[in-house]
Amino acid sequence: MGPLTGLAMPKPPRHNQSLADLRQEIDRIDEQMHELLIKRGEIIDRLIAVKKTQETGSAFRPAREADMMRRLVKRHHGNLPLDTAESIWRVIIATFTYVQAPFSVHADLSAGDALMRDSARFHFGFTVPFVPHMGASSVVEAVSESKGDLGLIPAFATAGTGPWWTALEFAAAPKIIARLPFIERADHPAAMPVFVISRAAADAMVTETEVFSLRVSGWSAAAVDAIAALADVIALPDRAFDGAALLVSVERGGIEAVRDTLVKIGATIRSSALVGSHATRYTVPAKG
């Protein structure tokens, strides 16, 4: 799934163009964009045929998508808001992925119905079915029972959810494959941080940021302060070990530093499991 290419460059502006001329030029560009989308669909048809003989597994390609989004930001200019350009490309990617292999988006609404729906519609559009849930565990269960669905879970702990990520520790379980929004900027229209879970092919994953499930005893405020500079951490009480269950997002290879730091302050690591990975978020600098 590549970006649209082949769009003819608009003619150099003429100072004597009439309103009718400008509208005609806009209509011509609109027709070209529509035709390119149709051609993209034809390529997807051929891609489906090739995949039947050369590839198995999920149609999701997190690494490729992250690369596409980075290139979009780098080439973007002009008066079209980046929000619009990103959402258009997101919907194109999601819709054509849906055409290849139909899937649903399961979303945990416990952090707010409107916020989660904004994120889902911004990133996946309206063609992909949206399935609401009340609680992260319900989303994990639904994705686990599906063949290729996605799950959206708020990337912060909320009351009553419990350590939902422990269900991702098993080999056959879905994993965290992305963290949205990928393109971070001020006033993002779908700014709520969200983890995406699914079953993506191993060679399709992007591993710039690794996400671990840890269980520790001896968890304390000092432990929070000690590893805050090393990783993003969600911690919830874990009565089984009289400690905490952690979801740790850390730069690839950085988990050893987290483990060493925990041990130095007296925490005991009871278990550790890799539960996913995602691209390092692309931050757009605020305009001065």
Structure confidence by residue, pLDDT tens digits, 64-115: 888 988 999 899 999 998 889 999 999 999 998 898 889 999 999 988 899 9
188 and 171 share a domain?
A: yes
Rounded distance, CA 211 to CA 119, Å?
Answer: 21
Whether 131 is in a domain gets the answer yes
**Final residue of a structural domain among 32, 56, 80:** 56
Rounded distance, CA 91 to CA 87, Å?
Answer: 6
265 and 201 share a domain?
A: no
- The alpha carbons of the chain give a radius of gyration, in whole angstroms, of 22
DSSP 147: S
- State which residues form the domain around 93: 62-205
Average pLDDT, the chain: 86
Amino acid present at 29 = I
71 and 194 share a domain?
A: yes
Whether 130 is in a domain gets the answer yes
φ, ψ for residue 32 (rounded to 5)?
-65, -45
Which residues on adjacent β-strands are paired with residue 179?
A: 195
- Decide if 214 contacts 163 (C-beta within 8 A): no
Those residues with Cβ within 8 angstroms of residue 185's Cβ, 6 or more apart along the chain or in another chain: 82, 283, 284, 286
106 and 192 share a domain?
A: yes
**Final residue of a structural domain among 56, 74, 102:** 56
Joined tokens for residue 167: 């269900």
33 and 132 share a domain?
A: no
Output the pLDDT for position 1.
Answer: 44
Tell me which residue of 152, 86, 93 sits closest to 127, measured CA to CA.
93
Digit-coded pLDDT (tens) for 248-266: 999 999 999 999 998 988 8
**Final residue of a structural domain among 56, 79, 97:** 56
49 and 105 share a domain?
A: no
Q: How confident is residue 3, by pLDDT bands cut at 50, 70 and 90?
A: very low
195 and 220 share a domain?
A: no
132 and 228 share a domain?
A: no
Whether 48 is in a domain gets the answer yes
247 and 155 share a domain?
A: no
177 and 228 share a domain?
A: no
- Decide if 86 contacts 191 (C-beta within 8 A): no
Whether 184 is in a domain gets the answer yes
Whether 12 is in a domain gets the answer no
**Helix, strand, coil % over all residues of the chain, rounded to 5:** 40, 20, 40
Q: How confident is residue 173, by pLDDT bands cut at 50, 70 and 90?
A: very high
More confident residue, 50 or 144: 144
Whether 31 is in a domain gets the answer yes
Whether 2 is in a domain gets the answer no
Joined tokens for residue 206: 């992007």
68 and 201 share a domain?
A: yes
